[in-house]
Structure 1
Amino acid sequence: MGCGIVFDVGTTAVKTMVFNRHFVVEGSVSVEYRLLAPKKGWLEVDSDCYWEAAKECMRSLRKQLGECLKQVDFVTVTTQGETLIPICAAGRPLRNAIVWLDGRAEEESAFLKERVEKTHFYQVTGIPECTPAVPVCKLMWIKRNEPELYRNTAWFLLVGDYMLYRLTGRVCTERTLMSTTGYYDITQSCLWQEMFDIAGIDRNKIPEILETGERAGEICEEAARELELPLHTAVFACTMDQVACAVGAGNVEDGVVTENAGTCLILAMTAQKAALRPGGNLAFYQHALPGKYLAMTNCPTAGIILKWFKDEFCEREAAMAAEQGTSVYNTLGNLAAGVEPMSRGLILLPHFSGVLQPECASGARGVFFGVTLETGKAQFVRCIMESVGFLLRENLEYLEAEQGIRVKEIRSLGGAAKSRIWEQIKADIVQRDMVHMKEAECTALGAAMIVSVTAGWYEKLEHACNAGNSEVERISFSLENRVAYETGYEKYRNLYRLLKDEF
């Protein structure tokens, strides 16, 4: 029986997973690399690090799996969006990768905002705002500040494109990965010429666009040697990580939302059409399913707030957890479980890095409200967890209102999903069940599912989703805390309204 290999290229690490035809994980390895910050607001990675990390993953997997890797049906890649790598005609990177979080292109962002009306930009790209993170701004920055490098660049690649190039020698990209570039028309599935003209960018420096799951070619001789994989192994183009994650959790039909609460909180819903109304603030990506879209909200700070609180104020709890051989987050969860709903009136606005949805307010900041001399550490912990629950409800209601769809199921992913008390708090606040999936590593799994169709394992993506992941647990909401959280949610919303002008 053959297997499939997925390289999941994230912001700080490459995770490589090997799946069999039943989507059982045969092996998994993660290798980290260092982010570079040469100047304030800049964030880069040595472009070679991505490939070197993939090679190191494969060396470890070979020790784990041995002969299994001689029967590889396919290799594919899913990656972060927006990270940019310029390469020369010989295929060599000309500079460090400019990471998606990089904010250097503020002037270019302002330039484009002045010349492209916001609603027009949104209705073509599905991106609510042309921020410095958008690749078209990064391209302009390179042309303005590194003109010789721009002239010597044959192609501007995203991370996924670069990995496909190293695997096959073919210069190509994939349509969902292009969704957040700022120069791709998501409704027409083509490059947006108007943006190239305004930005002064040569569209011939953008690679050809493949369909999601399309065969990019065979593994080239150099890659086969470096990764120790069979020559002529099929390589397939795959989707960006957020889309892959949704597919891996079975988010391919109306009424299902995936809720991924890690560093940030991301909600994603499959949509039949992109509702790109004037003044809208809901992000839309092309879905892996042709003709469908993924409607998304992104809250920049969620789980990272609890990490911040743990790092700054919970040294004693961390030491106790270390002595007991448990996670400090379990200790904090036990503290929260001993506190009544609404934490004795304590409320947190969790906007430590601004707000993107339901409205964009980059100046918004975190606020603890209702602190008294009786407020203890346990109340702060529960309050943080409840604030993420309120974020979830706020964005869930926004998704439903914008799409005109009642959400029937929330599939919960990310680090917060590991906390039973946190899941119960979220369920009680939104008054919906929180569904846990059998396989929590949904990004690489979703990529394997997508490619399994074109590789011949399954006839349809829906069949692969049914075979690859299923519900393993359901955290049911309680009516007992409904009144407390209805009142608390209204206070949470009112608090933001009152402070909005101050922000």
Structure 2
Amino acid sequence: MKYVIGIDLGTSSVKTLLVDQNGDIKGEASAAYPLIHERPGYSEQNPEEWVTGTISCLKQLFQESGVSPEDIDGVSYSGQMHGLVLLDADNNVLRNAILWNDTRTTAECREIEQKLGDQLLSITKNAALEGFTLPKILWVQKHEPELFAKAAKFVLPKDYLRYRMTGRVEMEISDAAGTLLLNVAEGQWSEEVAGAFGLPAGFCPPIVGSTEATGTVLPEFAQLSGLSTSTKVFGGGADNACGAVGAGIVQKGDALSSIGTSGVVLTYEEDKNKDFAGKVHFFNHAHPGAFYAMGVTLAAGYSLSWFKDSLAPELSFNEFLEPVATIAPGSDGLLFTPYLVGERTPHADSVIRGSFIGLSGTHRREHMARAVMEGITFSLAESLELFRQAGIAVDRVISIGGGAKNPVWLQMQADIFGTPVVSLKNEQGPAMGAAMMAAVGSGWFRSLKDCAEQFIDYVATYEPIPANVETYSRLFKLYQQVYSATRVLNEGLQQFRG
């Protein structure tokens, strides 16, 4: 039996998955590493932590599984997006990586908008947000000029890890799409954008595909990790692209609903000319020639965690949510907007905050809990509505994360989305997507679509209930009015916030 390894390089930990040719998981290991917060709004990491954590996980996989290194056909990656790793001419790291959740770059975002104008959306397909990579590059250029003068190139987190494994400095395309330096439709670095900000020639490394071979394991890395020097290494993908692949979002008509701390709605697309006017993200997919549109709710699962921890920290989530099934759709006239930390889609607004609308003395905790769940799902539905307005058909939604662990919430998603919702038998997320890329790259399958048919099983389908769909359709129209009705109030309240 042959195997592949998927490496998911996350924000707080790295996870590795050992998968056989049937798609069965034969081992997994994870290792945590710290975040560095030197000042409010700063979020950094030492790239060496990614390397040592990965080595530790690989050693554990071999020790616990008993699999021979020679039986590992390939390795691939999922990576946290947007993080800036600056390298000098000898490929040495110049400073800590600046991560996706670092918010110091608001001024640089405005500079990008002013300098590029309409070109920003026409070339990169995305608005300038603090999380993206180009604003971080400009921040270092402005605030650390002596250090930036030594910078020869940049990479993203998982691409740095791949360099340490193979000795090749390259950027994988689905991750490159999140830098604001890529012409997304053409899949090439934009000379116009790089030139506008005086970035040196060669600053953007060569682009590779997600299932493209990028060399084999270096002898020194093989000695440390237990891998064989004959093991092939493949490009991998951005964490959202890998999460989509791992959930089977590799064909038109499928969409992903992921409810973690934040929430993501993502759909597969093959038309490179789709125009969302920057209201949703539009990135290159891991599947060659494909793309994905993505909307984000900043406080999805976080809203429910906040509510439970505030009112009933002693209860488990199952205990807390059990009474919700007794409450009818609409929560007896109660609405909740999940803007606890601002919002991303469709309102890129850092000032807006959440609201309960319609609260009365007859409402109990279970009404409020259901309203929170409905509000999170309404927020995700706003992204789906933008997809549909752009002509993207959504025939079914694959639900993962916290929203897929509760049958009431799965049915609620089907009713609010007006689309069948499917849950996975074995949810492994981006690490499985990375393993699938290694499987395709190793020649086990012709495409990610073929691999998904073998590797991914679905356990249940929730069909929309017509009466609930009608109720939620009317309620959704009211939900969409809350943002504009409370925006000015929240601006006024900002002076009183700590």
TM-score above 0.5? yes
- Pairing 1:45-194 to 2, within 5 Å after superposition: 45-117=45-117, 119-127=118-126, 129-194=127-192
Q: Could you tell me how far apart the structure 1 residues matched to 2:43 and 2:292 are?
A: 27
2:381 counterpart of 1:383: no
Q: Is the 8 A contact 1:14 1:53 kept in 2?
A: yes
Number of the residue aligned with 1:283: 281
Q: Is the 8 A contact 1:136 1:199 kept in 2?
A: no
**Which amino acid in 2 is paired with 1:256?**
D
Number of the residue aligned with 1:12: 12
Q: 2:439 aligns with which of 452, 475, 484?
A: 452
- Pairing 1:345-384 to 2, within 5 Å after superposition: 345-384=333-372
**Which amino acid in 2 is paired with 1:410?**
V
2:397 counterpart of 1:410: yes
Q: Could you tell me how far apart the structure 2 residues matched to 1:276 and 1:481 are?
A: 31
Q: Could you tell me how far apart the structure 1 residues matched to 2:214 and 2:250 are?
A: 24
Q: Is the 8 A contact 2:78 2:433 kept in 1?
A: no
State the shift of 1:483 in Å.
4.2
**Which amino acid in 2 is paired with 1:395?**
S
Q: Is the 8 A contact 2:125 2:275 kept in 1?
A: no
Provide the aligned C-alpha RMSD in A. Answer: 1.8
**Which amino acid in 2 is paired with 1:223?**
F
Q: Could you tell me how far apart the structure 1 residues matched to 2:467 and 2:245 are?
A: 34
Q: Could you tell me how far apart the structure 2 residues matched to 1:154 and 1:430 are?
A: 47
2:22 counterpart of 1:34: no
State the shift of 1:290 in Å.
2.3
State the shift of 1:280 in Å.
4.6
Q: Is the 8 A contact 1:392 1:426 kept in 2?
A: no
State the SS of the aligned residue for 1:344: coil
Return closer, same or farther for 1:67/1:276 CA change in 2, 3 Å cut-off.
closer
Return closer, same or farther for 1:406/1:161 CA change in 2, 3 Å cut-off.
closer
Report how many residues are paired: 490
Q: Could you tell me how far apart the structure 2 residues matched to 1:357 and 1:223 are?
A: 41
**Which amino acid in 2 is paired with 1:392?**
L
**Which amino acid in 2 is paired with 1:150?**
F
Number of the residue aligned with 2:317: 329
Q: Could you tell me how far apart the structure 1 residues matched to 2:200 and 2:323 are?
A: 57
Q: Is the 8 A contact 1:77 1:237 kept in 2?
A: yes
**Which amino acid in 2 is paired with 1:120?**
Q
**Which amino acid in 2 is paired with 1:487?**
R
Q: Could you tell me how far apart the structure 1 residues matched to 2:445 and 2:224 are?
A: 30
Q: Is the 8 A contact 1:393 1:429 kept in 2?
A: yes
Number of the residue aligned with 2:495: none
Q: Deviations over 1:19-56 (max 9, x none)?
A: 11111111111211111110111001122111111112
Q: Could you tell me how far apart the structure 1 residues matched to 2:274 and 2:185 are?
A: 10
State the shift of 1:448 in Å.
2.1
The alignment's TM-score, normalised by the length of structure 2, stands at 0.94
Q: Which runs of 5+ in 1 are unaligned?
A: 318-327
State the shift of 1:359 in Å.
4.1
Q: 1:212 aligns with which of 207, 210, 213?
A: 210
Q: Could you tell me how far apart the structure 1 residues matched to 2:346 and 2:405 are?
A: 26
State the SS of the aligned residue for 1:397: helix
- Further displaced range: 275-284 or 137-146: 275-284
Question: Higher relative CO (CA 8 A, sep ≥ 6), structure 1 or 2?
Answer: 2
Number of the residue aligned with 1:471: 458
Number of the residue aligned with 2:427: 440
Q: Which runs of 5+ in 2 are unaligned?
A: 491-498
**Which amino acid in 2 is paired with 1:99?**
L
State the SS of the aligned residue for 2:28: strand
State the SS of the aligned residue for 1:379: helix
2:238 counterpart of 1:237: no
**Which amino acid in 1 is paired with 2:405?**
K
State the SS of the aligned residue for 1:7: strand
Q: Is the 8 A contact 2:45 2:97 kept in 1?
A: yes
Q: Is the 8 A contact 1:3 1:69 kept in 2?
A: no
Q: State the identity as a percent.
A: 28
The alignment's TM-score, normalised by the length of structure 1, stands at 0.93
State the SS of the aligned residue for 2:207: strand
**Which amino acid in 2 is paired with 1:167?**
M
Return closer, same or farther for 1:278/1:348 CA change in 2, 3 Å cut-off.
closer
Number of the residue aligned with 1:426: 413
Q: Deviations over 1:442-489 (max 9, x none)?
A: 312222222322211112322111111132211233234344323322
Q: Is the 8 A contact 1:285 1:295 kept in 2?
A: yes
Return closer, same or farther for 1:262/1:277 CA change in 2, 3 Å cut-off.
same
State the shift of 1:342 in Å.
1.9
State the shift of 1:179 in Å.
0.1
Return closer, same or farther for 1:259/1:110 CA change in 2, 3 Å cut-off.
same
State the shift of 1:180 in Å.
0.9
Return closer, same or farther for 1:105/1:445 CA change in 2, 3 Å cut-off.
same
Q: Is the 8 A contact 2:17 2:435 kept in 1?
A: no
Q: Is the 8 A contact 1:125 1:182 kept in 2?
A: yes
Q: Is the 8 A contact 1:126 1:179 kept in 2?
A: no
